């Protein structure tokens, strides 16, 4: 019998017992749907996270002064490990100095694209009338702003003249602007004077631009009074802080795949060790979001795989259900099998007929499961403020796996049907 005829017979058999077929496919539908939905949500969250990290400079290398871990610390449980018994604040004398930065810039000129220098005045509040907003004041140089993904909605960027003069000009977020001025007409607030109150300190700024606050989905969602960054010039912050050097700097490597981030980080570490090898309390350490990104992706992948394995149990249960229903179907169609064998059907053709019927049953369940899984995953991703990304490979694998289940669990009933004695089958009541 031709393959097309077998498939047509399988579809006819399924349609003749719709409710039984639906109940049989339920395990397949649930298992496939759960796997696809989980993979879709996992891909969506991972893609959203990667995009967010990329916009924040995932390939940047952070270089910071930290306290050395040179003491053996004993925990309450009695375990000993290298740590810091007394935490000490980084002092100005331990900062990364301008001469170090210049030497670093010369030595790594071919591997680094820019050095992002910034400093902070801390957190405070801007109050206008009865309205206020929480902000953290960050001052950056030209390199810092080149490395930021700032989208202006009104006004202008902080220019070179303002940077050289250390002027107290600022970029305010649209979120803070709405809270303070109750308006989305951001052009109307350009040139306004604002005052940031931080403890007992007061800092005055002139707003020269309003930028769009980056939304990064549920992973980084904020509350009703979130703190946003007020950007200003590095010179302005330095004029207030009166500090020489930086507790940390950020390095952006050249956009070249030949520059390995791990190797570059190691070389940067060696460079700064020249200056800090005599410092008994502090050292310079390097880190990057790229390594954090890899760890997060691995964690999300592990979680997704673990849940998918659990969902796969539903597929196993569904496969057992398919085997059970095929045995019932064969029992009901014993006379049909006997008639076909009496007319010359071979054991292999009988076996193939019922194997194909089981595979068609599971394939239909797989397709329905894929549709429900993609739809459910897309809805879940939307609720998490992430763009849905269905895995094409997962869809193909799931449908193929459902067919394999049909083949595996359908073989025993099909083989049983093929081995029937035609005389016994014809006289079966």
pLDDT digits (tens, 9 = 90+) for 23-47: 888 888 888 888 888 878 877 777 7
Coil, strand, or helix at residue 203? strand
Q: Do 366 and 227 share a structural domain?
A: no
Cα 141 to its chain centre, rounded Å, is: 30
**Residue 181 CB-density burial (10 A; 0-12 exposed, 13-18 middle, 19+ buried):** buried
Q: Do 65 and 49 share a structural domain?
A: no
Higher pLDDT, 390 or 203: 203
Q: Do 27 and 89 share a structural domain?
A: no
Q: Do 313 and 352 share a structural domain?
A: yes
Reply yes or no on whether the pLDDT at 55 is more than 90. Answer: no
Reply yes or no on whether the pLDDT at 223 is more than 80. Answer: no
Per-position b or e across 213-232, b if 16+ CB within 10 A of its CB? beebbeeeeeeeeebbbbbb
Q: Do 358 and 334 share a structural domain?
A: yes
Higher pLDDT, 158 or 143: 158
Higher pLDDT, 152 or 53: 152
Reply yes or no on whether the pLDDT at 85 is more than 70. Answer: no
Residue 108 belongs to a domain? yes
DSSP letter assigned to residue 96: B
Reply yes or no on whether the pLDDT at 99 is more than 80. Answer: yes
Residue 280 belongs to a domain? no
Q: Do 374 and 243 share a structural domain?
A: no
User: 337 is in which domain, residue-wise?
Assistant: 3-53+295-426
Residue 282 belongs to a domain? no
How many domains is the chain partitioned into structurally?
2
Q: What is the pLDDT of residue 127?
A: 94
pLDDT digits (tens, 9 = 90+) for 61-70: 889 999 887 6
Q: What is the pLDDT of residue 219?
A: 40
Contact partners, residue 326, CB within 8 Å, separation at least 6: 354, 357, 358, 409, 410, 413, 414
Q: How far apart are CA 172 and CA 194, in angstroms?
A: 10
Cα 57 to its chain centre, rounded Å, is: 15
pLDDT digits (tens, 9 = 90+) for 271-283: 999 999 888 889 9
Q: Which tokens in the block code for residue 369?
A: 């499961």
Q: Do 271 and 133 share a structural domain?
A: yes
Q: How far apart are CA 167 and CA 159, in angstroms?
A: 10
Reply yes or no on whether the pLDDT at 389 is more than 60. Answer: yes
Q: Do 264 and 326 share a structural domain?
A: no
Q: Do 77 and 14 share a structural domain?
A: no
Q: Which tokens in the block code for residue 76?
A: 């309450």
Nearest to 67 by CA among 47, 50, 79, 82: 82
pLDDT digits (tens, 9 = 90+) for 280-326: 889 999 887 766 677 777 777 777 777 767 767 777 777 888 888 88
Q: Do 308 and 211 share a structural domain?
A: no
Q: Do 113 and 258 share a structural domain?
A: yes
Residue 227 belongs to a domain? yes
Residue 206 pLDDT class (50, 70, 90 cuts): very high
Mean of the per-residue pLDDT values of the chain: 81
């Amino acid at each position: 019998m031709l393959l097309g005829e077998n498939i047509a017979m399988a579809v006819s058999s399924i349609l003749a017992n719709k409710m039984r077929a639906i109940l049989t496919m339920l395990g397949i539908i649930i298992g496939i749907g759960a796997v696809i939905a989980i993979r879709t949500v996992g891909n969506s969250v991972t893609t959203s996270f990667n995009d967010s990290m990329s916009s924040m400079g995932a390939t940047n290398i952070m270089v910071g002064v930290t306290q050395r871990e040179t003491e053996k610390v004993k925990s309450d449980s009695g375990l000993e490990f290298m740590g810091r018994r007394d935490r000490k604040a980084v002092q100005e004398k331990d900062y990364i100095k301008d001469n170090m930065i210049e030497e670093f810039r010369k030595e790594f000129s071919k591997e680094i694209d820019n050095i992002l220098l910034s400093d902070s005045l801390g957190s405070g509040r801007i109050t206008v009338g009865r309205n206020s907003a929480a902000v953290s004041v960050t001052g950056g140089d030209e390199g810092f702003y080149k490395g930021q993904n700032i989208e202006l909605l009104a006004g202008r960027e902080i220019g070179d003249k303002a940077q050289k003069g250390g002027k107290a000009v600022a970029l305010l977020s649209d979120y803070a602007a709405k809270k303070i001025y109750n308006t989305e007409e951001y052009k109307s607030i350009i040139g306004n004077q604002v005052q940031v109150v931080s403890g007992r300190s007061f800092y005055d700024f002139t707003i020269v631009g309003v930028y769009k606050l980056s939304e990064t989905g549920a992973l980084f969602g904020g509350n009703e009074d979130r703190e946003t960054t007020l950007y200003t010039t590095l010179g302005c912050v330095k004029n207030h802080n009166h500090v020489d050097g930086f507790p940390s700097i950020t390095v952006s490597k050249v956009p070249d795949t030949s520059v390995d981030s791990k190797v570059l980080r190691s070389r940067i570490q060696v460079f700064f060790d020249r200056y800090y090898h005599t410092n008994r309390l502090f050292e310079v350490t390097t880190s990057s979001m790229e390594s954090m990104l890899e760890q997060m992706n691995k964690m999300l992948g592990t979680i997704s795989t673990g849940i998918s394995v659990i969902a796969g149990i539903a597929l196993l249960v569904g496969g057992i259900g398919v085997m059970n229903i095929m045995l019932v179907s064969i029992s009901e169609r014993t006379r049909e099998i006997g008639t076909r064998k009496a007319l010359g059907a071979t054991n292999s053709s009988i076996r193939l007929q019922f194997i194909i019927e089981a595979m068609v049953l599971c394939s239909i369940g797989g397709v329905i499961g894929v549709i429900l899984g993609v739809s459910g995953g897309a809805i879940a991703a939307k609720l998490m403020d992430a763009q849905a990304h269905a895995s094409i490979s997962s869809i193909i694998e799931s449908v193929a796996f459902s067919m394999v289940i049909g083949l595996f669990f359908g073989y025993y009933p099909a083989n049983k049907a093929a081995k029937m004695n035609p005389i016994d089958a014809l006289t079966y009541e």
